């Protein structure tokens, strides 16, 4: 049996000294590496060599080993202007990597730092650093969402956009008061017409910090996709032009509270137009009167006889101007547009709000019958 040899005291001292030297060298190397903060495009060849040696010899296992086995998806957001160091710290804080500095060094030595953009990402704790770095190259653009309800006039849309997505309302109104955008459905608009009625009410997904023009064009695109084909299909079914349909639909939108009544309300106005009877639609008077500071509303409540006699220069008040207004008074939804294209078939010429306050209306064929339904 061979006798086990023991290290002599001198050899033991040399061995321990060598170990200490290696540990010290690794510590110095680690400090030097962590002190290199330049982006990959500004790193010297020496910087890249030093970091590469450090990662390959001392941290390769940490790079390839996920923090945990948890496969739960997490939403991770990189905000505009964040540095790779910021991203590394955030990854560490959110439990996605063990060492944010290690992530920073890995992406920089591999030239991945310049292609990480602001956006929204889906990461998991069971992803290692290379997998996370690759995922951060594929951003989902940061978005915001805003809903424009039916029946809002241009100024109300602008105010809502300022409140919800921080768009300057004056900028939006200025752009919307022009109609010189190259969309086929705008080519026949009268001179001086605005985009009132064409700002299609819908829920819009927008880029972060959208401009007024971003939203405006999105709305016109939506109108082109959803309303323009409907107007095209209406040719032959009605003698109204697309703008007349849109104008009457905007009145129906403002009058109707209960959706099922829209075709009935449309039929009343169309019946009046057939016999040359004045439309006498309250919403047109409200539109003509404009903003009411005391009520803080664009739609005056409690119209008076003097209000109904208001001869606005634009010709929108249908108690004074017996015909259709020169353009829409708000943005109608699809159901109001469809109600004008395919109205209910009735002989009604009048309607009035029901006295029970549920938003429904009572319809009449004659003025005498209408008078009996007025609330006392």
pLDDT in tens, 14-49: 555 555 444 444 454 444 444 455 445 455 565 566
Q: What is the DSSP letter of 336?
A: H
> Quick one: pLDDT at residue 50?
64
Q: Give dist(CA 206, CA 147) in Å, integer.
A: 11
Q: H-helix or E-strand containing 285?
A: helix 282-289
What percent of the chain has pLDDT above 90? 55
| pLDDT band (50, 70, 90) for residue 340 | very high
Residue ranges in 166-261 assigned as alpha helix (H) = 169-176, 212-226, 228-234, 242-255
Tell me if 84 sits within 8 A of 107, measured CB to CB.
yes
Q: Give first-to-last CA distance, the chain, whole Å.
A: 121
The residue written with tokens 């080993």 in the block is 65
Q: How many CB atoms lie within 10 A of CB 353?
A: 16
**Residue 230 is encoded by which pair of tokens?**
């409907």
Q: What is the pLDDT of residues 127-180, one digit of tens each?
A: 999 899 888 886 656 678 899 999 999 999 999 999 999 999 999 999 999 888
Per-residue b or e along 121-135, where b marks 16 or more CB atoms closer than 10 Å to that residue's CB: bebbbebebeebbeb
Q: Give the separation between CA 51 and CA 34, rounded to whole angstroms.
A: 9
- Residue 337 has what DSSP assignment? H
Fold of domain 143-226: Dna Ligase; domain 1 (3.30.1490)
Residue 342 has pLDDT above 90, yes or no: yes
Domain residue limits, the chain: 30-141, 143-226, 239-372
Residue 303 burial (CB count, 10 A): 16
23 or 332, greater pLDDT:
332
Judge if 30-141 and 143-226 fold alike in CATH terms. Answer: yes
Per-residue confidence (pLDDT) for residue 6, from 0 to 100: 57
- Residue 237: φ, ψ to 5°: -85, -15
Selected residue with higher pLDDT from 22 and 126: 126
- Each residue's pLDDT tens digit, 266-302: 999 999 999 999 999 999 999 999 999 999 999 999 9
- Report, as an integer, the average pLDDT of 98-118: 83
pTM for this structure? 0.67
Task: Give the pLDDT score at 73.
Answer: 86
Beta-bridge mates of residue 351: 363
Q: Can you give the pLDDT at residue 208?
A: 76
Place of tokens 């940490």: 62
Q: Return the CATH number of the domain spanning residue range 30-141.
A: 3.30.1490.480
């Amino acid at each position: 049996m061979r006798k086990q040899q023991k290290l002599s005291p001198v050899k033991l001292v040399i061995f321990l000294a060598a170990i200490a030297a290696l540990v010290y060298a690794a510590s110095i190397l680690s400090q030097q590496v962590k002190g290199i903060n330049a982006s990959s495009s500004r790193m010297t060849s020496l910087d890249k060599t030093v970091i590469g040696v450090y990662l390959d010899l001392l941290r390769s296992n940490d790079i390839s080993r996920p923090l945990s086995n948890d496969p739960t998806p997490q939403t991770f957001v990189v905000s505009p202007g964040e540095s790779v160091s910021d991203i590394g710290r955030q990854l560490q804080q959110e439990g996605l990597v063990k060492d944010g500095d290690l992530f920073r060094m890995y992406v920089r030595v591999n030239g991945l730092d310049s292609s990480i953009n602001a956006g929204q990402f889906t990461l998991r704790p069971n992803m290692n650093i290379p997998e996370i770095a690759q995922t951060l190259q594929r951003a989902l653009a940061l978005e915001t969402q805003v809903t424009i309800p039916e029946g809002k006039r241009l100024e109300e849309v602008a105010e809502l956009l300022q409140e919800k997505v921080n768009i300057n309302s004056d900028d939006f109104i200025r752009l919307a008061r022009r109609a010189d955008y190259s969309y086929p459905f705008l080519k026949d608009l009268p001179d001086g017409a605005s985009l009132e009625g064409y700002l299609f009410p819908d829920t819009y997904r927008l880029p972060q910090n959208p401009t007024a023009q971003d939203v405006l064009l999105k709305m016109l695109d939506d109108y082109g996709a959803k309303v323009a084909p409907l107007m095209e299909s209406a040719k032959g079914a009605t003698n109204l032009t697309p703008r007349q349909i849109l104008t009457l639909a905007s009145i129906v939108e403002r009058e109707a509270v209960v959706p099922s009544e829209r075709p009935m309300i449309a039929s009343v106005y169309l019946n009046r137009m057939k016999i040359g009877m004045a439309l006498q639609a309250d919403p047109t008077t409200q539109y003509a009167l404009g903003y009411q500071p005391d009520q803080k509303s664009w739609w005056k409540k409690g119209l008076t006889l003097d209000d109904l006699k208001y001869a606005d220069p634009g010709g929108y008040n249908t108690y004074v101007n017996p015909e259709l207004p020169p353009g829409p008074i708000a943005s109608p939804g699809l159901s109001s547009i469809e109600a004008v294209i395919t109205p209910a078939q009735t002989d009604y010429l009048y309607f009035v709000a029901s006295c029970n306050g549920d938003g429904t209306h009572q319809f009449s064929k004659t003025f005498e019958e209408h008078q009996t339904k007025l609330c006392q």
